[in-house]
Structure 1
Amino acid sequence: MDVRLAGLDDAEGIRAIYNREVLEGTATFDLRPRSITDQRRWLTDRSGAHAVVVAIEDPVVLGFGSLSPYRDRPAYRTTVEDSVYVDPAHQGRGVGRAVLDGLLQTATQHGFHAVVARISGPNEASVALHRACGFETVGIEREVGRKFSRWLDVVVMQRILA
């Protein structure tokens, strides 16, 4: 498995993983699948410090993650939010850990101070992954999302980098 910054050639693999979660899962609150044009635009918008990392076994994208601005106010600019997605066929193989490690390295290299994870639904695997990578639970947002006719909580976890 290779972990690297994502490029436009990874768009279809990322889109397939993401759209499965849109249509079948609760890791995202998105309700509309992305087109390939949407996915390419999303990748193009995430360059530099707000990067996308992929785990691949050429040519297959096993998982991906991204860093996004935490909030739009200037005082938040040293904090980012991470997102990690793994193809279900490759879960349990360390893909999520490799992706999150790559994101944390990228965040550190770009001088961010804190990383926040907002984990939706009952996703104990993601909570455990973040805990194993040094994140602490700092709160729970109760019933803030609704998907598949269910109210969903969001677990908020945080790691201070430096």
Structure 2
Amino acid sequence: MSRRLETATVAHVPGIRAIYNEAIRTLSATFDTEEKSHDDRVRWLSERSERHPVVVALAGAEVVGWGALSPFSDRPAWGRTVENAVYIAEGHRGQGWGDEILTELMKRARTIGHHVVIARIVGGNAASMRLHERHGFELSGTLREVGWKFERWHDVVLMQAMVLAAE
């Protein structure tokens, strides 16, 4: 079975949506609490600029993961700072997909000319912290008890990586 990454298109929305909705239902990795509709995910994808790509991981034709670079803030001075997101379908975790997606996102961040990539990781998500450390992210701090999900408070760990713009 072929294994590859591609820039996300509307054709990938059902897979992106399924993975994200599974995370909303079962993980504290996202602080979204309401599942997303197909139309919402199409709108989300279509409103993204070239500076904020979404990539999908494909095993054959199946979307098994996705990642994105998103604006960290809508204020102009933050324009070259982005936040990353990486989500892997439950049955495909631990198979290296996260590394492949984050490698591609960091490559694109450099090419685009972003200066900093930030990861907001829910406290206790050691696998995500290790993933980001392997890609040059360093701990910047912890926001204590900032998210309420699954009837408890969650911390958020901030990690960041400096990226060099392509020459």
TM-score (norm 1): 0.97
Moved over 6 A (4+): none
What residue in structure 2 maps to residue 30 of structure 1?
32
* Partner AA of 1:105 in structure 2: K
1:47 CA drift (Å): 3.4
Secondary structure class of the residue paired with 1:112: coil
What residue in structure 2 maps to residue 107 of structure 1?
109
What residue in structure 2 maps to residue 77 of structure 1?
79
Structure 2: distance between partners of 1:48 and 1:58: 26
RMSD over aligned Cα atoms: 0.8
Aligned residues: 162
- Whether 1:17 and 2:19 are equivalent positions in the alignment is yes
The Cα offsets for residues 46-77 of structure 1, whole Å up to 9 and x where unpaired, read as 23010101110121111101111111211110
Identity %: 46
What residue in structure 2 maps to residue 57 of structure 1?
59
Secondary structure class of the residue paired with 1:141: strand
What residue in structure 2 maps to residue 94 of structure 1?
96
Structure 2: distance between partners of 1:78 and 1:47: 13
Secondary structure class of the residue paired with 1:27: coil
* Contact 1:114 1:161 (8 Å CA) reproduced: yes
Structure 2: distance between partners of 1:82 and 1:12: 21
Q: Which deviates further from its counterpart, 49-58 or 139-148? A: 49-58
TM-score (norm 2): 0.95
Q: Which deviates further from its counterpart, 128-137 or 117-126? A: 117-126
* Partner AA of 1:73 in structure 2: R
* Contact 1:53 1:65 (8 Å CA) reproduced: yes
- Whether 1:139 and 2:141 are equivalent positions in the alignment is yes
1:12 CA drift (Å): 0.3
The Cα offsets for residues 27-54 of structure 1, whole Å up to 9 and x where unpaired, read as 1000110111111111111230101011
1:122 CA drift (Å): 1.8
**Structure 2 gap segments, 5+ residues each:** none
